[in-house]
Amino acid sequence: MRVVLLASGSGSLAQSIIDARDSGKLNIEILQLISDKHSQAIERASAAGISTTYLPMLEDRSIWDTQLFETVKKLNPDLVVSVGFMRILAAPFVSEFPTINTHPALLPKFPGAHAVRDALNAGAQVTGSTVHWVDTGIDTGTVIAQKEVVVLPQDDESSLHERIKIVERELIVETLQSFIAHGLPRRTNES
């Protein structure tokens, strides 16, 4: 399976995929890591010998959307994996490229950028991680896999998020293993 990684941050999710590839758990070719920020994710990918592209957000979002689309189209991946990429992808992108994302909550509960804080504020006893298809909404794509994380009485946003990240890294690797073994599942918006 040929994949492109999209990342904006520390790259811990990307690193879990790289490590799984390097250990033989994942039989994938990582074509490139693309980041919209000068991020640690770029450093991690470069250190692993993976090609990287820095594609900063532009004032004209439509130009950036086209640049991202054309960059990925040239790579011709089987799958795009959003690993902490903090941008909504344009409709032409998600209709052209099968794209999955991880989210630190049990969707459809707590979508958006503050899922962990929202779960705590809502008094959730259980939250977790979701891998889902990316569509044009914010964390609205079809759920592929989920794992629960129990909220502990002493949890704050940071401690809970760290425990979710551990599960998130396991879940993305397990999801990719399933795709390799069984093929990509259908996205509900496909005809």
Contact 172, 155 (CB under 8 A): no
Q: How far apart are CA 155 and CA 77, in angstroms?
A: 39
Instruction: Give 122's DSSP letter.
Output: T
Q: How far apart are CA 140 and CA 111, in angstroms?
A: 8
Instruction: Give 56's DSSP letter.
Output: -
Strand bridging mode 126-133 / 29-35: unpaired
Q: How far apart are CA 22 and CA 59, in angstroms?
A: 38
Angle between helices 157-182 and 12-23 (to 10 degrees): 40
- Return the active site residues: 103
Q: How far apart are CA 88 and CA 163, in angstroms?
A: 25
Q: Looking up tokens 């502990």, which residue turns up?
A: 152
Amino acid found at 76: N
